[in-house]
Amino acid sequence: MFNILFLLLVGFCSSAASFLATNPQNTDDIQYLHLLLSDEKAERMRLQTQVDKMASALQTLQEQMEEKQNCDCSKNTPNVAFRTELSKDLGSVSSNHVVIFDEVDLNLGSAYEPRHGIFTAPVNGTYLFSMALGNPKDHAGAFFMKKNSQTIEYAIAGHTTGWNMGGVTTVAELNAGDDVWVEGEGYISGAYSHIRYHTGFSGILIHAY
């Protein structure tokens, strides 16, 4: 669009110059055309400035896109993940009882503290967490997932006949230093046998920022 306007203005300038060359006797027309030529020159300079700015902005945008494409995004998100299970029955526990999952199968980044059962976010980011509770019949129990003492998820088990499980998966936005853990209430069952873990807690960092 700017190129078309530029060409039109150049054409007008040429026509005006030709008119001056063929009609030197008309003083008023000559002065008027001089004014038009002056305005045309100012407008052409303004348009050229805008074109230069747009070209510069486009170049910057292209460089940013190339830099983003060449970026190894995996370097921005550290490898943080954990998976734990409860190997033994805790029996009946009172409210606010922190469940310490003693079997740690995975602890990339060492963000899960197995002595206290607490996960501490190493960086700001979006995290995915999951917890599951398996209880036999007539042994009702509940899990509460906590973020800095605030409940963010809830699951129950043992309210129906036979063995049953309750679980939930959620996402949470954490700042570095935020803690996430699981509290139990009622009956908390561990493994049915050493190969049948059904009560656990896990998490992974999805994206750091």
Each residue of 4-54: pLDDT tens digit?
A: 444 444 454 555 555 545 554 556 667 777 777 777 777 788 888 888 888
- For position 2, what pLDDT does the model report? 45
* Confidence (pTM): 0.62
- For position 7, what pLDDT does the model report? 47
- For position 11, what pLDDT does the model report? 53
Question: Which of 117, 122, 120 lies closest to 103, judged by CA?
Answer: 117
Distance (Å, rounded) from C-alpha 109 to C-alpha 115?
Answer: 16
CB 181 within 8 A of CB 98: yes
User: Which pair of tokens denotes residue 132?
Assistant: 């599951």
φ/ψ of residue 88, rounded to 5: -145, 160
Question: Strand locations in 3-65, DSSP E?
Answer: none
Beta bridge partners of 185: 142
Per-residue pLDDT of the chain (209 residues; tens, 9 = 90+): 545 444 444 454 555 555 545 554 556 667 777 777 777 777 788 888 888 888 888 888 888 888 777 655 555 789 999 999 998 889 999 999 999 999 999 999 999 999 999 999 999 999 999 999 988 877 889 899 999 999 999 898 876 666 788 899 999 999 999 999 999 999 998 876 656 778 999 999 999 99
